[in-house]
Amino acid sequence: METNLRIAIQKKGRLSEDSLKLIKECGIKVNNGTGKLMATATNFPMEFLFLRDDDIPGYVQDGIADIGIVGANEADEKDKDVDLVKSLGFSKCRLSLAIAKNEEYNGLQDFEGKSIATSYPKILGDYLSDNGISADIHEISGSVEIAPSIGLAYGICDIVSSGSTLLSNGLKEVEVIFKSEAVMLANKGLSAEKQAILEKLIFRINAVQAAKNSKYILLNAPNDQIEEIIKILPGMKSPTVLPLAMEGWSSVHTVIQEDDFWQIIEELKEAGAEGILVVPIEKMIQ
């Protein structure tokens, strides 16, 4: 029987859509009809389990799933004996301490002896003890932001992204204690066959990620400016230079990093580049 790599992804929630999108971008086809909790890819040796994110680190540790996608916050909180394979760049958020917006805040010492409601008792406990603060951690499983207004706790420690949930509940963020994004976890004892499938998957994810961070750039320039323009362009290798039909002009093609984009464009314009086109790249194999 063919070996399949079994991946656990969140059934429904903040990670589900982007996890499946990544799988799709890797060219893997899976038919997860509504309500189906298990599925097999049609064109890659992979099986899918659709689970609550809380259960994923444990299932990966126990080998029920070979790999899994969860938030780094969930992976850290569950503290299972698994390998962290890769950060995936989506579901970026932070775990923060927050208190009622009308409370004065002078620093972390304000939490000394107070109660804090959270779904992340381990991460919070570690943070407080690292900082020499002793507080009463009150574990609740959801709707954490309600705790101060109903008198359950002085402060909270919960996930923040835009900050709008805090705002709507009359809270202010006072400390960021953990920065998170989706990560891939793997079981520590994968067979050689499963390891080989995982490597193929990682190769594809790397190509997708590299493409997302890069742009293909095309521009025209007079030949006497080409040397200077090439100096500005840090391409994958050396840029391609092609003569244009117009005498004395060339077209330059290369790949640039998204982060350097605006700075490079400015420099290129100053160096005499014209007709600059910037195009997204679908996959990039380095």
Ligand X SMILES: Nc1ncnc2c1ncn2[C@@H]1O[C@H](COP(=O)(O)OP(=O)(O)OP(=O)(O)O)[C@@H](O)[C@H]1O
Closest CB to ligand PRP among 43 and 141?
141
**Among 53, 66, 110, 158, contact with ligand PRP (rule: CB under 6 A):** 158
> What's the farthest any 2 CA atoms get from each other in the chain?
78
Helix axes 192-212, 16-25, angle to 10 degrees: 100
Smallest gap from residue 157 Cβ to ligand PRP (A): 11
- Determine the Cα–Cα distance for residues 70 and 11; give it in Å rounded to an integer: 11
DSSP one-letter code for 142: S
Smallest gap from residue 270 Cβ to ligand PRP (A): 40
**Among 160, 171, 182, 271, contact with ligand PRP (rule: CB under 6 A):** 160
Smallest gap from residue 201 Cβ to Mg ion (A): 24
**Residue 178: closest CA among 107, 97, 100, 105:** 97
Helix (H, G, I), strand (E, B) or coil at 269: helix
What is the binding site for ligand X (CB under 6 A)? 10, 13-15, 52-54, 71, 73-74, 91, 93, 159, 161, 180
Q: Applying CB under 5 A, does 53 fall inside the site for Mg ion?
A: yes
Smallest gap from residue 168 Cβ to ligand PRP (A): 8
Q: Tokens 């600059």 appear where?
A: 276
Please report the beta strands in 143-193, taking only residues with DSSP state E, as ranges in sequence order. Answer: 155-160, 171-180, 182-186
DSSP one-letter code for 131: T
Q: Pattern 86-125, binding to ligand PRP, x per CB under 6 A?
A: ----------------------------------------
Smallest gap from residue 45 Cβ to ligand X (A): 26
Residue 118 contacts which entry, ligand X, Mg ion, ligand PRP, none (Cβ below 5-8 A, type-dependent):
none
**Among 31, 42, 129, 161, contact with ligand PRP (rule: CB under 6 A):** 161
Which tokens go with 78? 């569950």
What are the angstrom distances between the C-alpha of 243 and each of 221, 222, 253, 265, 278? 10, 10, 12, 21, 19
N residues, the chain: 286
Say how many residues touch ligand PRP, by CB under 6 A. Answer: 11
Closest CB to ligand X among 110 and 158?
158
Residue 163 contacts which entry, Mg ion, ligand PRP, ligand X, none (Cβ below 5-8 A, type-dependent):
ligand PRP
Smallest gap from residue 176 Cβ to Mg ion (A): 21
Q: Applying CB under 6 A, does 157 fall inside the site for ligand PRP?
A: no
User: Do the beta carbons of residue 157 and residue 63 sit within 8 Å?
Assistant: no
> How many CB atoms are closer than 10 A to CB 154?
20
Q: Tokens 């958020």 appear where?
A: 93
User: Do strands 46-51 and 5-10 pair parallel, antiparallel, or not at all (unpaired)?
Assistant: parallel
**Among 162, 245, 246, 247, contact with ligand PRP (rule: CB under 6 A):** 162
Residue 260 contacts which entry, Mg ion, ligand PRP, ligand X, none (Cβ below 5-8 A, type-dependent):
none
Q: Applying CB under 6 A, does 165 fall inside the site for ligand PRP?
A: yes
- Determine the Cα–Cα distance for residues 44 and 91; give it in Å rounded to an integer: 25
Smallest gap from residue 74 Cβ to Mg ion (A): 7
Residues found near ligand PRP in the complex (CB under 6 A): 14, 142, 145, 158-165
